[in-house]
Structure 1
Amino acid sequence: MPENQSKEENPILTKTVAEAFASSDRAANRIILMGAPTWVKGMIHRLHILGVAEVGMWSPILPTRQPGEAIALLVHPRRENRD
C-alpha cells in the first residue's frame, strides 16, 4: 500500500462493494463472507459443494481494514417466479 494512502482507503475493495450493492435493472440476492481468509475461501468451496454458487461467481477475496480479515461478495440475479 502506498505510504500516502491511509489504511482505511482501499479503492479496490470500495469499488467491489459499491458494485455489489449498486442498483441495477434486475433484482439480485447478495451474500457477503467476512472472516479469516482461509475461512472465507473454505466457505466459498463449501457453498459450491452445496450447490449454492460456483466458485468463479464470487469476487476476489480481499483484505478488510482489520488485520487477518478478508471479504468476498457474491451477487446473484433473482429468477422470475415461475408459478
Structure 2
Amino acid sequence: MTKADIVVEIAKSTSCEKAVVSTVVEAFMEGVKNSMIKKEDVFLRQFGTFVVKKRARKVARNISKNTTIVIPEHDIPAFKPSKNFAAKVK
C-alpha cells in the first residue's frame, strides 16, 4: 500500500476531499519525522510506537577487500506495534 492508496482509502471512508486528506497525511508524517529527529518517541494508542533506537559501536568486515571497519554508534528509527495490532497480524 502506498501513501496515495492511504489517501484514497481515508477519503472514501470520511467523505473528505483527497487534497485535504493528503495535506493531513503529509502533516502527520512530518510531525512524526520531526519528533524522531528530536529523539522523541511517538506513541499511538492501539497502533504502536515510533521509537529511536541506539545502535552500539561495532566492528565489521568488508569481505571483498578483506579489511575490518568500525561502524560508530548511531541512532535509527524503528516501529514497535501495539500488542493488539501485532496479535491481529499473526
TM-score, normalisation: structure 1: 0.27
Choose 1 or 2 for highest CA Rg: 2
Higher strand share: 2
Higher helix share: 2
